């Protein structure tokens, strides 16, 4: 069944070389019970690892059931181990955070079998006399019991060969003989057993004793009357493995991952916390950004849409227009003829502004007075919520009615209701008919520190002007803004007989440019907030990587064991990736909840405008999965690349 020819294995440690196996040839038949004996360091374990496909020799041939295994790659060897071999080690190598029954079932998740292995595992446990202890943890058991669990695990895949390396090395005499009794029984049932031991009374159980010295076989002794069974055909050797991503396997891996990330609670909690903080801040920052944007848009809407402002003088900042041309004084007829540009213009309102003293009873307040036309209310969203807007008749008849900004209201009236009261503006009595909706301040200017009165009243009764300071024009659509500007310019030049090259006497300002600038500013700001938060997510990811690397080192022996019982590279990688993604995803989901919570708290208690979006939730979930993948990859590769024998030996 097993045939090795002239195999050698040399270990290199720094400069020196140790020849652990030196041209060993050996044949083991189906159904044999072989004990390999020899002094410590004679190469017993090395030989057994090679026979058990855990290690490969540098030279020599290995035929397993007539099939050459020397050329197989790591994954093929893993599958082969899973299918034909069972291992029992001196140190038991049980996974301490799993129940005994889960330990026994472990090889099944790396097999191509499907279904529930629990009943099967329980049967093996009963066979070794531990049927009642299936829920216990390995560390709640004695050494002898742990080794019996390990034997049950070795049997679960129904192997043809059992490899046992000093199975009684850590046990007392009584337990040693109990273990040997079980192995003898298995041998009688037809299992081939290869056992390493240095104790002669243990070797006595075997039918054949091979003695080694300095990497060579010096004696090979068979007992009389040992039964040898017919050879099994090589058809049971299966090396082609099933695909990695099969739902049944994935489920097994997820269960394993949950086991291991919950077994180290504090550490998991801390690394999840890193991601949680990152995701929560992404959510909260993006909500803040979106909120700021929304309130900015609200503000912009109150400025009016597609609005042009026609003003006298040049467009120089500060209004210090020097030059020869005179500042244009617009007339009501100008406004009228602009309004007649029908396809381009929706509405028009002439305005005059000035400063005036307002008085109510014993309070007085200096404020700015805006004389406005009927359409101004709609155009600039100034229709009062309390009280009403001017009527056309009031404007026509130069009525003394006023609409107050909120700052003026609080200065003159305090908490009193001003609607219907009479105030003085520059010593003229006005009736208050409404309160303008608050607009907040733009720059240093408080837009609520204003009084609106009809444009006619302002010109002829309050400010003593016979011209307009400016004209607001609402263009019919955004695409008409440029043509409208052109048309208005031509019109004004014609009406005021201005030369074409004159740039000083009036200007047309496009308010939408200002709006676009503002909204792009808020956009930049929310991007900035989002990216700062994203950085904290990356920092959280590095935390995960750190934890996973520690975990790989700490679990080296576990990885070795998993590989020994048949886990392929991909299986180990998948397990570690699932663990890291599991942690980041948990952090992500908790972070979303915390982030939304923080946003709600900010909006209710601090009064900040926040707006959580589905997009930010999806983005940060996706991002946390990606971070788990990205930062988990390196540790996972490191784990997957470990050699089974070296990993098992790791202290």
Q: What is the largest CA-CA distance in the chain?
A: 134
13 binds, among Mg ion, ligand ADP, none (CB under 5 to 8 A by kind): ligand ADP
Applying CB under 6 A, which of residues 31, 38, 312, 595 lies at the interface with ligand ADP? Answer: 38
> Minimum CB separation from ligand ADP for residue 556, in Å?
13
Q: Segment near ligand ADP (CB under 6 A), from 40-48, 267-275, 462-470, 525-533?
A: 40-48
281 binds, among Mg ion, ligand ADP, none (CB under 5 to 8 A by kind): none
Q: What's the CA gap between 446 and 385, in Å, rounded?
A: 19
Q: What's the CA gap between 154 and 151, in Å, rounded?
A: 5
Q: Which of these, 342, 369, 343, 335, lies nearest to 355 by C-alpha position?
A: 369
Dihedral angle of Cα 470, 476, 478, 482, to the nearest 10 degrees: -60
Residue 232 CB neighbour total at 10 angstroms: 17
Q: What's the CA gap between 513 and 570, in Å, rounded?
A: 57
Interface map 8-27 toward ligand ADP (x if CB under 6 A): ---x-x----x-x-------
Residues in the chain: 651
42 binds, among Mg ion, ligand ADP, none (CB under 5 to 8 A by kind): ligand ADP
For residue 478, with 0-12 CB atoms within 10 Å meaning exposed, 13-18 middle and 19 or more buried, which class applies? Answer: exposed
46 binds, among ligand ADP, Mg ion, none (CB under 5 to 8 A by kind): ligand ADP
Count, residues near Mg ion per rule CB under 5 A? 1
397 binds, among ligand ADP, Mg ion, none (CB under 5 to 8 A by kind): none
Q: Which is nearer to ligand ADP, 42 or 586 (CB)?
A: 42
Applying CB under 6 A, which of residues 8, 23, 30, 41 lies at the interface with ligand ADP? Answer: 41
Q: Which is nearer to ligand ADP, 18 or 218 (CB)?
A: 18
Q: What's the CA gap between 545 and 537, in Å, rounded?
A: 13
Cα–chain-centroid distance for residue 98?
A: 29
> Minimum CB separation from ligand ADP for residue 43, in Å?
4
Query: Contact, 477 vs 346, CB < 8 A?
Result: no
Applying CB under 6 A, which of residues 42, 211, 584, 612 lies at the interface with ligand ADP? Answer: 42
DSSP symbol at 390: P
Q: Which of the residues 287 through 346 are near Mg ion (CB under 5 A)?
A: none
Residue 110 is encoded by which pair of tokens? 């790396």
> Minimum CB separation from ligand ADP for residue 15, in Å?
13
> Minimum CB separation from ligand ADP for residue 212, in Å?
7
Q: What's the CA gap between 518 and 163, in Å, rounded?
A: 75
Applying CB under 5 A, which of residues 2, 4, 43, 45 lies at the interface with Mg ion? Answer: 45
Count, residues near ligand ADP per rule CB under 6 A? 12
**Residue carrying the six token digits 């199975």:** 167
Applying CB under 6 A, which of residues 28, 31, 32, 43 lies at the interface with ligand ADP? Answer: 43
Which pairing describes strands 428-435 and 401-404: parallel, antiparallel, or unpaired?
parallel
Q: What's the CA gap between 275 and 543, in Å, rounded?
A: 8
Interface map 216-255 toward ligand ADP (x if CB under 6 A): ----------------------------------------
Applying CB under 6 A, which of residues 2, 32, 37, 46 lies at the interface with ligand ADP? Answer: 46
Q: Segment near ligand ADP (CB under 6 A), from 44-52, 154-162, 301-309, 356-364?
A: 44-52
507 binds, among ligand ADP, Mg ion, none (CB under 5 to 8 A by kind): none
Question: Nearest 5 degrees, angle CA 396-CA 399-CA 403?
Answer: 110
- In sequence order, the 6+-apart residues with CB closer than 8 A to the CB of 447 are 405, 439, 440, 441
Asked if 42 is part of the footprint of Mg ion (rule: CB under 5 A), the reply reads: no
197 binds, among ligand ADP, Mg ion, none (CB under 5 to 8 A by kind): none
Query: Contact, 107 vs 157, CB < 8 A?
Result: yes
- Write out the DSSP string of 10-48: EEEETTEEEEEEEEEEEEE-TT-EEEEEESTTSSHHHHH
| Binding-site ranges for Mg ion (CB under 5 A) | 45
| Binding-site ranges for ligand ADP (CB under 6 A) | 11, 13, 18, 20, 38, 40-46
């Amino acid at each position: 069944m097993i045939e090795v020819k002239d195999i050698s294995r040399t270990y290199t440690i720094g400069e020196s070389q140790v020849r652990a196996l030196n041209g060993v040839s050996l044949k083991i038949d189906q159904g044999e019970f072989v004990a390999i004996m020899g002094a410590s360091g004679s190469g017993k374990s090395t030989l057994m690892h090679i026979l058990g496909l855990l290690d490969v020799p540098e030279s020599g041939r290995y035929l397993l059931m007539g099939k050459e295994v020397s050329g197989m790659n790591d994954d093929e060897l893993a599958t082969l181990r899973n299918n034909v071999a069972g291992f029992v080690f001196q140190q038991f190598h049980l996974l301490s955070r799993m129940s005994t029954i889960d330990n026994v079932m472990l090889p099944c998740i790396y097999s191509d079998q499907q279904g529930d292995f629990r009943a099967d595992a329980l049967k093996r446990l009963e066979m070794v006399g531990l049927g009642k202890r299936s829920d216990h943890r390995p560390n709640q058991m004695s050494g002898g019991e742990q080794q019996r669990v390990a034997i049950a695990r070795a049997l679960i895949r129904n192997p043809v060969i059992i490899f046992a390396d000093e199975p009684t090395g850590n046990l007392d005499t009584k337990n040693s003989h109990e273990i040997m009794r079980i192995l003898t029984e298995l041998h009688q049932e037809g299992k081939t057993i290869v056992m390493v031991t240095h104790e002669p009374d243990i070797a006595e159980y075997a039918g054949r004793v091979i003695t080694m010295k300095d990497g060579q076989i010096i004696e090979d002794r068979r007992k009389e009357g040992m039964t040898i069974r017919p050879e099994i055909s090589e058809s049971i050797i299966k090396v082609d493995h099933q695909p990695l991503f099969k739902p049944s396997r994935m489920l097994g891996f997820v269960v394993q991952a949950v086991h291991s990330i919950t077994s180290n609670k504090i550490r998991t909690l801390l690394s999840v916390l890193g991601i949680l903080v990152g995701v929560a801040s992404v959510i909260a920052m993006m909500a803040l950004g979106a909120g700021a944007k929304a309130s900015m848009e609200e503000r912009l809407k109150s400025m009016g849409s597609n609005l042009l402002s026609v003003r006298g003088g040049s467009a120089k900042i500060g209004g210090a227009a020097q030059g020869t041309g005179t500042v244009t004084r617009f007339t009501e007829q100008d406004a009228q003829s602009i309004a007649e540009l029908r396809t381009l213009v929706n509405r028009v309102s002439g305005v005059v502004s000035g400063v005036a003293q307002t008085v109510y009873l014993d309070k007085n307040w200096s404020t700015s007075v805006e004389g406005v036309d009927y359409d101004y209310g709609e155009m600039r969203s100034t229709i009062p919520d309390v009280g009403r807007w001017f009527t056309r008749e009031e404007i026509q008849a130069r009525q003394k009615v006023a609409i107050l900004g909120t700052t003026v209201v609080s200065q003159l009236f305090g908490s009193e209701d001003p609607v219907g009261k009479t105030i003085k503006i520059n010593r003229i009595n006005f009736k208050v008919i409404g309160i303008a909706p608050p607009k907040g301040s733009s720059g240093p200017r408080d837009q609520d520190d204003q009084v609106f009165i009809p444009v006619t009243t302002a010109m002829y009764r309050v400010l003593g002007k016979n011209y307009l300071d400016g004209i607001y024009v609402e263009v019919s659509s955004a695409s008409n803004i440029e043509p409208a500007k052109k048309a208005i310019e031509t019109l004004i030049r014609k009406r005021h007989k201005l030369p074409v090259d004159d740039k000083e006497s009036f200007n047309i300002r496009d308010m939408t440019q200002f709006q676009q600038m503002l909204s792009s500013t808020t956009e930049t700001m929310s991007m900035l907030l989002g990216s700062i938060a994203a950085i904290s997510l990356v920092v959280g990811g590095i935390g995960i990587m750190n934890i996973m690397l520690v975990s790989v080192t700490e679990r080296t022996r576990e990885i070795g064991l998993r590989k020994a019982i048949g886990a392929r590279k991909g299986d180990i990688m998948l397990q570690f990736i699932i663990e890291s993604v599991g942690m980041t995803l948990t952090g992500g989901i908790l972070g979303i909840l915390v982030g939304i919570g923080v946003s709600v708290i900010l909006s209710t208690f601090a009064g900040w405008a926040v707006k959580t979006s589905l997009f930010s939730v999806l983005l940060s979930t996706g991002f946390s999965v990606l971070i788990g993948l990205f930062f988990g990859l390196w540790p996972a590769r490191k784990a997957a690349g470990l050699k089974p024998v070296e990993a098992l030996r790791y202290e």
